[in-house]
C-alpha cells in the first residue's frame, strides 16, 4: 500500500506539531525550576541527571521545531517530535504502572497530573508527527488551501487545549472523590 498525504493535511499536521512543541518550550522555559522538579518527580533518572535532562529535552523540542519549519529537514523534525512524544508517553505510563498518580506530567503550563488520558494524548501526537513522514500528493497548494490550513491548525490546537482542560478537571474530580471517602 502506497500511503500519501494531501499537502493540506501535511501542512496542518506540521503546523499543529510546531504549535504544540512551541507552547511546551515557552511554558517550560517560563517555569524552568518547576520543569526540572517535575523531571525529578518521575524518578526515572537519578536526581543528579534531571538538570542535564531538562535542557537536553528543551533543545530537542526546539530542534524539532526548527527542522519542521524547513521542507528539507521536516522529516528529521518529525522523527524528533514523534520520538519525544513517545518518550513522554512511556515515562508517564511507567509511573502510572508503578502506582504513582500524584505527580505533574511536566508538559508545561498548568500542572496536570499524569494519567492514561495524557498517555493517549501523547500517542496521538506520535501518530500526527509520524504522518508528516508520509509523502505528500503532488498537487499545488492554493491560497484557499493555506487559509483552511491555518484555520485548521488553530482549531485543532484549541480542541487540544479543551481536551487537556477536561483531562485536568476529571483528574481533580477524582482526587476530590478519593479524599471524601
pLDDT digits (tens, 9 = 90+) for 104-139: 877 765 667 888 988 999 999 999 999 999 988 888
Please report the pLDDT score of residue 6 as a whole number. 85
> What cell numbers appear for 44 in the block?
526515572
1 in a structural domain:
no
169 in a structural domain:
yes
**Domain residue limits at 74:** 7-179
Number of domains composing the chain: 1
- Class of residue 160 by CB neighbours under 10 A (exposed 0-12, middle 13-18, buried 19+): middle
Q: Does residue 21 register a pLDDT over 90?
A: yes
152 in a structural domain:
yes
Answering whether pTM is above 0.75, one says yes
Spatial distance between the Cα atoms of 107 and 74, rounded to a whole number of angstroms:
23
Q: What is the separation of C-alpha 2 from the centre of its chain, rounded to a whole number of angstroms?
A: 27
DSSP assignment string, 53-101: HHHHHHHHHHHHHHHHHSGGGHHHHHHHHHHHHHHHHHHHHHHHHTT--
Q: Which residue has the cell 518547576?
A: 34
- Reported as a single tens digit per residue, the pLDDT across 79-113 is 999 999 999 999 999 999 999 888 887 776 566 78
2 in a structural domain:
no
- Reported as a single tens digit per residue, the pLDDT across 147-157 is 998 999 899 88
Helices 50-69 + 74-97 axis angle, to 10: 140
Are 65 and 18 in contact by the 8 Å Cβ rule? The answer is yes
139 in a structural domain:
yes
Amino acid at each position: 500500500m502506497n500511503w500519501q498525504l494531501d499537502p493540506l493535511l501535511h501542512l496542518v499536521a506540521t503546523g499543529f506539531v510546531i504549535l504544540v512543541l512551541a507552547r511546551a518550550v515557552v511554558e517550560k522555559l517560563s517555569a524552568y525550576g518547576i520543569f526540572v522538579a517535575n523531571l525529578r518527580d518521575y524518578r526515572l533518572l537519578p536526581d543528579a541527571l534531571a538538570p542535564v535532562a531538562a535542557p537536553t529535552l528543551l533543545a530537542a523540542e526546539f530542534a524539532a521545531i526548527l527542522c519542521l519549519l524547513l521542507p528539507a529537514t521536516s522529516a528529521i523534525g518529525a522523527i524528533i517530535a514523534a520520538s519525544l512524544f513517545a518518550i513522554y508517553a512511556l515515562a508517564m505510563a511507567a509511573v502510572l504502572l508503578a502506582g504513582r498518580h500524584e505527580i505533574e506530567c511536566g508538559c508545561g503550563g498548568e500542572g496536570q497530573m499524569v494519567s492514561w488520558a495524557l498517555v493517549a494524548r501523547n500517542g496521538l501526537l506520535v501518530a500526527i508527527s509520524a504522518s508528516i513522514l508520509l509523502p505528500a500528493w503532488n498537487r499545488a497548494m492554493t491560497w484557499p488551501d493555506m487559509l483552511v490550513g491555518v484555520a485548521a491548525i488553530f482549531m485543532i490546537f484549541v480542541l487540544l487545549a479543551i481536551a487537556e482542560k477536561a483531562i485536568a478537571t476529571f483528574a481533580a474530580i477524582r482526587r476530590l472523590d478519593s479524599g471524601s471517602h
